[in-house]
Structure 1
């Protein structure tokens, strides 16, 4: 699995959500900040303006334009500059005939273990439509406009594909960089080591073996990796192993011993010590806390 796909698979939590919103001018809606969420809006019909987070100048949006918010920051959409937006109200289900129609989507991610690949993204990203984005948006819109047999499975799958396209489109449009994750993913040495760690997090990697996989001697490799990624090779490996372990404890019924083995620990005790150091609690207690929180959410949803 490539690094981007692996990062998103591990960091996502819950099910992605999507809906269609319809508006008639004049209008303006303010979307509150949602920590631990990535969101997007696609203009399907009409034109409107984005009021970016931080009070930047309004940005005109045309049909096909995408606004991607990697960190869930507050923002607003208005039909024209100067309109004061109101808090986001109940959505219009499958709008027909409205002057402006937008496709919205949101992804839950773990706000505590955000990968630097996501953490380093801008507060908001404006993307022009590409063939990939148009295709994914068209398929997703069709499922939302006319739900059919299997729509419940199709929508999350299409949302995941669209998220990958959004990130791929943004990374492809970045100029050459000398540091950071754009540079790390484009650098053949660093990307080879990252790929090895993500493909086999349970391997007993050393700096020497990672350097050999990357085709460079030990010391130059360590310096190059640290400069681009922001962590030493084994520091990143441990951080990633603990992130993968948290995902396994959250989404599977694998025993703690099994999880320890899958992320490279022969001793359950050594794994528990490392996990506690990174997450502040023991693996078993971490899982029990998640189960209790999940049960509480189910009760709240049932009472609504």
Structure 2
């Protein structure tokens, strides 16, 4: 798997978190769903994404916005519009007076469409994502709080498929929507990283390099292999010195530093998500034993694997 694929592996759309909102101006939704990541796209009309900190972002019809949580933010027809509806986990809609209007606004049984306006109103499609792995945090750290991707920079038919699926009411629709939301996130991120003014992370830029890209894929496919700079250079068909120099220039880290951080990200994810022993995790990510993993983990993360896991449990 390539680096972007690995980093996205722990990001998944949440079942029942997809929503299509039909809204008459003036409208303003306060998003309090605590989702680590959200996606919104106007099917008709426009919307402003207004974070509590940072500049507002205007998204037009067909644009995509990716918003990092879990802090609340506002989606509105205008920056100054005061929120009247608060969106809580599970797409529960609560008014400013505390009234739950979820059932009253749902357009039809079993649908994910919430009606707060007429047939000519703004229509916003949105979804939220779980981030279940520390590995994915490396990707989120490279993104601004709000990623805005214009429609013409999402070179994929996925958004059209998503819009078409919203108009259906067929068995299995929620599963289809979840999968399309996952693909929409990938397509939007590709478009954002590929834009002319983009400054993507080094591992993304290096993916297309015939030498360094091959080495990155090798590291991600076999993180437990006892890689050396010489071994990676041999796998890519260049000299050791040339490989080390090119890898460091493109990725921003020497090969062994990148490998170490990647292994420790994988170890952190396993410490959180599994009950495997430290010795077992050490072997899975390329360390000879628990002691070797502990030394590297403490040097980079400032704590031991055991204390790291205990802190998560607490």
Same fold per superposition (TM over 0.5): yes
**Structure 1: 5+ residue stretches without partners:** 294-304
The structure-2 alpha-carbon separation of the partners of 1:257 and 1:42, relative to structure 1 and needing over 3 Å to count, comes to same
Residue 120 (1) aligns with residue 145 (2): no
The structure-2 alpha-carbon separation of the partners of 1:40 and 1:181, relative to structure 1 and needing over 3 Å to count, comes to same
Measured in 1, the distance between the counterparts of 2:150 and 2:201 equals: 26
Measured in 2, the distance between the counterparts of 1:210 and 1:189 equals: 10
What residue number does 1:250 align with? 272
Residue 264 (1) aligns with residue 286 (2): yes
Residues 165-176 of structure 1: matches in 2 within 5 Å? 165-174=187-196
What residue number does 1:29 align with? 29
Measured in 1, the distance between the counterparts of 2:69 and 2:233 equals: 33
Measured in 1, the distance between the counterparts of 2:309 and 2:169 equals: 39
What residue number does 1:161 align with? 183
Do the aligned residues in 2 keep the contact of 1:185 with 1:191 (CA within 8 Å)?
yes
The structure-2 alpha-carbon separation of the partners of 1:113 and 1:244, relative to structure 1 and needing over 3 Å to count, comes to closer
Count of aligned pairs: 286
Do the aligned residues in 2 keep the contact of 1:53 with 1:123 (CA within 8 Å)?
no
Do the aligned residues in 2 keep the contact of 1:13 with 1:109 (CA within 8 Å)?
yes
Measured in 2, the distance between the counterparts of 1:282 and 1:15 equals: 32
Measured in 2, the distance between the counterparts of 1:275 and 1:140 equals: 45
* Secondary structure, aligned partner of 2:271: helix
Residue 105 (1) aligns with residue 127 (2): yes
Do the aligned residues in 2 keep the contact of 1:178 with 1:228 (CA within 8 Å)?
no
What residue number does 2:81 align with? 83
Residues 126-145 of structure 1: matches in 2 within 5 Å? 126-129=148-151, 130=154, 131-138=156-163, 141=166
What residue number does 2:64 align with? 66
- Cα shift readout 1:36-86 (whole Å, capped 9, x = no counterpart): 822210112333344477664762512x22112357676543324653456
The structure-2 alpha-carbon separation of the partners of 1:194 and 1:250, relative to structure 1 and needing over 3 Å to count, comes to same
Residue 195 (1) aligns with residue 217 (2): yes
* Secondary structure, aligned partner of 1:234: helix
Deviation at 1:168, TM superposition (A): 2.0
* Secondary structure, aligned partner of 1:264: coil
Measured in 2, the distance between the counterparts of 1:147 and 1:284 equals: 48
Measured in 1, the distance between the counterparts of 2:22 and 2:173 equals: 25
Do the aligned residues in 2 keep the contact of 1:179 with 1:228 (CA within 8 Å)?
no
C-alpha RMSD of matched pairs (Å): 3.6
Do the aligned residues in 1 keep the contact of 2:159 with 2:184 (CA within 8 Å)?
no
Measured in 2, the distance between the counterparts of 1:81 and 1:232 equals: 44
Quick check: which one's helix share is greater? 1
**Structure 2: 5+ residue stretches without partners:** 94-104, 107-112
Deviation at 1:286, TM superposition (A): 3.7
Do the aligned residues in 2 keep the contact of 1:174 with 1:182 (CA within 8 Å)?
no
The structure-2 alpha-carbon separation of the partners of 1:263 and 1:133, relative to structure 1 and needing over 3 Å to count, comes to same
* Secondary structure, aligned partner of 1:95: strand
The structure-2 alpha-carbon separation of the partners of 1:281 and 1:69, relative to structure 1 and needing over 3 Å to count, comes to same
The structure-2 alpha-carbon separation of the partners of 1:117 and 1:133, relative to structure 1 and needing over 3 Å to count, comes to same
Taking structure 2 as the reference length, what is the TM-score of the superposition? 0.73
Do the aligned residues in 2 keep the contact of 1:49 with 1:59 (CA within 8 Å)?
yes
Higher relative contact order (CA 8 A, sep 6+): 2
The structure-2 alpha-carbon separation of the partners of 1:220 and 1:191, relative to structure 1 and needing over 3 Å to count, comes to same
What residue number does 1:234 align with? 256
The structure-2 alpha-carbon separation of the partners of 1:169 and 1:107, relative to structure 1 and needing over 3 Å to count, comes to same
